[in-house]
Structure 1
Amino acid sequence: MKLAIVRSVAVLAAATLLSLGFSGASLAAAPAALEKVVVAGWSKPITEVTNLLVDEDKGFFKAKGLDLQYVPGAGGGDAIRNILTGQADLAFTDPGSFFAALEKGEKLRAIYDIYPQNVFNVVSLKSQNITRPADLKGKKIGVYSLSSGTRQNLLVLLHQAGLRESDVTIVVTGLLNFAPLMQGQVDATAATDTGLLVGRQKGLADVNVMEVKNYLNVSSDMFVVREETYQQKKELLKKFLAAYRDSVNWMIKQPEEAAALAVKRAIDGKDAAVNLDVIRLRNLSSVSATTQKKGLGAFDMDVLQKAADTYLALGLVQRAIKVSEVVSQDLLPAK
């Protein structure tokens, strides 16, 4: 009798599900719940991070069981603040902001080298005759924000000429900072390669460009997490990094498709042709001799240590940082 009751309940349950439109096939295909992962960016959702914006279209992160969310920021310092306050799991940030937070005693760990090439520069109109770091003394120089890599890398450039931040006047001009340069509000402006590209396409001409990589070719950006996150969420982070690498490989192999998707996903992506140029530059900055040997995301530890030593010499940090203690590559997917 008990068996008959069980069978009756099972039949009734099946009939109820069928009446609601569920078939055996649809039940089997029901997706598992996605695990949320939040990335704190240094910027708004712009074209150069298209691979983080197109999961609705491409599903790189969903394929790993992840629900990817992006929190915008205004500089690498913002990104780190967002992980420290629990607003995000990973910070998309620059080495300078990472070093500054470590120096304040924050427990952080870098786990993936996003852009192993230095993409920062300082741009000036040729009429200013600024051709070397020493020429910046006494000048007004624009930066995206005081917590951005533009400021940090400007200070690296000044250091090459024995100059300090107090030897120049820094002006916060925002992300699209070439208008103040063209209007004479600043003598030079610190930017990125993609920022310069867009500026030139909007009419910026007759400029001198000093590329910071010619002085210190350190990584531009990396993924950083709190030490607690690193210790407690390793499987989540491994899945995220595997998905991220897949998305970068896609953008490298299919830049035209990425440029087209940026039109609807990036706030600055209205022109697909411009998007393509931006994406190609970012693709170039994603690879290096180290990543060729070890795979995307691998760090050149010697270069990163040199950068930490430079920041100490600059006075940007007050104590030595041993990068081998705060950088881990064990979560990187196999090449």
Structure 2
Amino acid sequence: MTSHARRRNVVGALLAGTVALSMTACGGSGSSDADANTMTVSYSQVVADQLPLWIADESGLFTAQGLKVTLTNLSGSDGFPALVSGQTQLASIGGSEMVSGAASGGEVNYLATLTPVFPYELFAKVTDPQELKGKRIGVTSTSGSLYVATLEALKQIGLSPSDVQLTPLGSVTNVNNALVAGTIDAALSHPPATTQIEAAGYHSLVDLAKDKIPASNVGIAATTDYVNGHGDQIRRFLAAVQQAITREKSDEAYSTSVLSKHLNVTDPAALHETWQYYAQEALPDVPTPTVAQLQTSVTELAPSVPAVKSLDVAKIVNTSFVTPAG
């Protein structure tokens, strides 16, 4: 099967059930310079992992690079199909979506990481983790980054997925709300939601961020076709993201003002905790993608998605667009 035919088949399979999007894809080799410098970029969850994108957009860093970038929120299950169909040019999604999509035949490059660790703690009211057996644990889906991180957390407390009831709830916000409401018994979460979760009587059983397990909780992906035709645009996009990372780490006041707007949080203590957690613990100085970050998803998804077992993730990772530190 030719590369073009394989890509067409993948798009057809992945787009089933996907929301209809009215987006303008970047033109191909015959597009104007203006079209080539225009890109739509999706992000999968409204979480603080995405702050570098929001900063780059709102502080004019993309514009300074000569790019016209439109950010749009699409779930991971919708974001990957939109990417391979050309409705978006870049996607900020989890490593699990990249791995499962590539295993299905999607020709994708992993270009950068915004969160190279799992930025989650496992919250519950039990004191002995074994008391979670048979209990409901919330996840967003059965393939996303939160799902993969939950499997890792269960492993650390000596439980397997079959010991608990993994309950897909669609979004991080839904998971957090269900935990506070008590309709699930445990879940992974991170700031700023942890402030409300702890106030509801939950405590942390596992802190995955401190363990520094390599992961791609949120990374930047593009199709191989787009990479081959728009390398200069990608390089400028990631240069703006690097500048945004630097500002996030050094300018708490501005960072928390952007967070407040996007997360709809006004509590100064919660915003400070969120900024501190990401800027000082989860966010890399340089967003370099690695094989190890994707391999964690391969390991956790292999039992339920057999196709990932034979996936060579080294062929997905593309470090050529990230400028090394130093």
Counterpart position of 1:242? 239
Q: Deviation per CA, 1:163-191, whole angstroms, max 9, x where unpaired?
A: 23585242416423334224331111233
Give the structure 2 partner of residue 13 of structure 1.
Answer: none
Structure 1 position 51, deviation (Å): 3.4
**3-state DSSP of counterpart to 2:272:** helix
Identify which range, 140-149 or 277-286, moves more after superposition: 140-149
Q: Equivalences for 1:1-335 in 2 at 5 Å? A: 35-44=37-46, 48-54=49-55, 57-74=58-75, 76-125=76-125, 128-131=126-129, 135-146=131-142, 148-159=144-155, 161=158, 163-164=160-161, 167-172=164-169, 174-176=171-173, 177-191=175-189, 193-200=190-197, 203-213=199-209, 214=211, 216-263=213-260, 265-283=261-279, 284-287=281-284, 296-301=286-291, 303-304=292-293, 306-311=295-300, 313-318=302-307, 319-335=309-325
- Displacement of 1:148 after TM fit? 3.2
SS at 1:270 equivalent: coil
Say whether the 8 Å CA contact 2:192–2:271 is kept in structure 1.
no
Q: State TM-score, norm by structure 1.
A: 0.75
* Residue number in structure 2 paired with 1:10: none
Amino acid at match of 2:109: R
Structure 2: distance between partners of 1:42 and 1:173: 11
Gaps of 5+ in 2: 1-32
Q: How big is the alpha-carbon RMSD for the aligned residues of Structure 1 and Structure 2?
A: 2.9
Q: Deviation per CA, 1:50-97: give whole Å up to 9, x if none.
A: 3323456521111100112111023x3332222123221111111111
Cα pair 2:114 2:287 within 8 Å, conserved:
yes
- Note the C-alpha offset of 1:282: 1.8
Paired residues, what number? Answer: 287
Give aligned-pair identity as a percent. 15
Provide the rounded CA distance (Å) in 1 between the counterparts of 2:56 and 2:106.
Answer: 31
Distance 1:257 1:247, change over 3 A: same
Give the gaps of 5 or more residues in structure 1.
Answer: 1-31
Report the Cα offset of residue 230 of structure 1: 1.2
On the 8 A contact 2:179/2:197 being kept in 1, the answer is no
Residue deviations 1:127-170, cap 9 Å, x none? x3452xx5543221112344532122212334554623585242
Q: Structure 1's 135 and 91: CA in aligned 2 closer, same or farther, altered over 3 A?
A: farther
The amino acid that maps onto 2:70 is Q
Aligned to 1:26: none
Instruction: For residue 246 of structure 1, report the CA deviation from its aligned partner.
Output: 0.5
Maintained 8 Å contact 2:295/2:313? no
The two structures have a TM-score, normalised by structure 2, of 0.76
Aligned to 1:230, the other structure's residue is in SS state helix
The residue identity in structure 2 corresponding to 1:168 is Q
SS at match of 1:117: coil
Deviation at 1:305? 5.8
